[in-house]
Amino acid sequence: MKTPLSAAMEPILPPSAHSGKAWPGEGIRAGSLEVIIAQDPALIEQSQRLRYRIFFGEMGAEPRGDIARLKRDMDAYDAVCDHLLVLEHAEAGMPRVVGTYRLLRRQPMQEVGTFYSESEYDIAPILKLPGEILEVGRSCVDADYRNRAVMQLLWRGIGAYVAMHDVQVLFGCASFTSTDPAQHRLALSYLHHHHLAPPELRPVALASRRVEMDLLPKDQVDPRAAFTLLPALIKGYLRLGGYIGEGAVIDPEYNTTDVSIVVKTDLVTEKYVQRYGGGA
């Protein structure tokens, strides 16, 4: 289950606003599009409304309480995360949020006590790692902007953020739509057999929530066919050298089957530069 919304919670300036570090992604643009770390609560609210449209409108999640009333996907983590946004500046006035990622580091996490992923996975191996770690999540893009330019800006923004905070490992949850793992048996089996994280990095689904991913034996999995079935976000993580945790988790509230993602940033840096250039 997702972390419940605090009744009094409203968006506040994110941790980066007080970190004393300059955002190295300044000026990363593609035409009228720009990637930023949000400093304006109004832009964070826009990102929550975008998330609501995607998660509850497109993906079939069931809104409850203030989420349904305000039509904003919100929880207690919004107040302590950094919000990486892609803005469209095509019109005068307030820019439009067309893409978003939520980013959480070790120190800001202390404000809420756990990482979001810990409601689904045992991430003890990641927590034991030295250096900075970064949880990424709540990623979505407006239906009218699901193109290469927006995804490149999001990845370039993450690359800049990783450099800014000297992040060693990225991790988080990524989702398949629907709560029936059998619908995704080829894709899940492929991830399990071909991309399982090494033990020293491997999240493991909590026993109370775990469903198995190896629904087909390895010799019945066509890797090329399976890869085409993966959500675009998971494909992106794998192309950056990412790994998958052990076991999947059903999230009935959001109508998803979740998997855990782990990416070492040395691989991100190398593959990011090869794929998008070194501008960030």
Is the CB of residue 263 less than 8 Å from the CB of residue 230?
A: no
Q: How far apart are CA 130 and CA 149, in angstroms?
A: 34
pLDDT at res. 147: 86
Q: DSSP E strands: which ranges in the chain?
A: 29-30, 33-37, 82-88, 96-105, 121-122, 132-141, 167-177, 204-205, 210-211, 243-244, 248-251, 256-264
pLDDT band at 16 (very low <50, low <70, confident <90, very high): low
| Cα separation, 119 vs 251, whole angstroms | 11
96-105 and 121-122 beta bridge pairing: unpaired
How many Å apart are CA 11 and CA 45, to the nearest integer?
7
CA 125, 263, 31: angle at the middle one, nearest 5?
150
Q: Across 127-136, 160-169, 271-280, which has the greatest mean pLDDT?
A: 127-136
Task: Determine which of 9-13, 78-82, 126-130, 140-144 has the lowest per-residue pLDDT on average.
Answer: 9-13
What does the pLDDT look like over 166-216, one tens digit per residue? 999 999 999 999 999 999 999 999 999 999 999 999 999 999 999 999 999
Q: Give me the numbers of helices (H) and strands (E) for the chain, helices first please.
A: 9, 12
Q: What number is the average pLDDT over the span 28-35?
A: 90
pLDDT of residue 19: 55
Closest by CA to 226, choosing from 195, 204, 262, 248, is: 195
Give me the domains of the chain, ranges plus CATH numbers.
15-275 (3.40.630.30)
In tens, the pLDDT along 118-155 reads: 999 999 999 999 999 999 999 999 999 988 889 889 98
**By three-state DSSP, how is residue 74 classified?**
coil
Cα dihedral sign for 169, 126, 241, 172? negative
Average pLDDT over all residues of the chain: 88
Tokens of 92: 């005068």
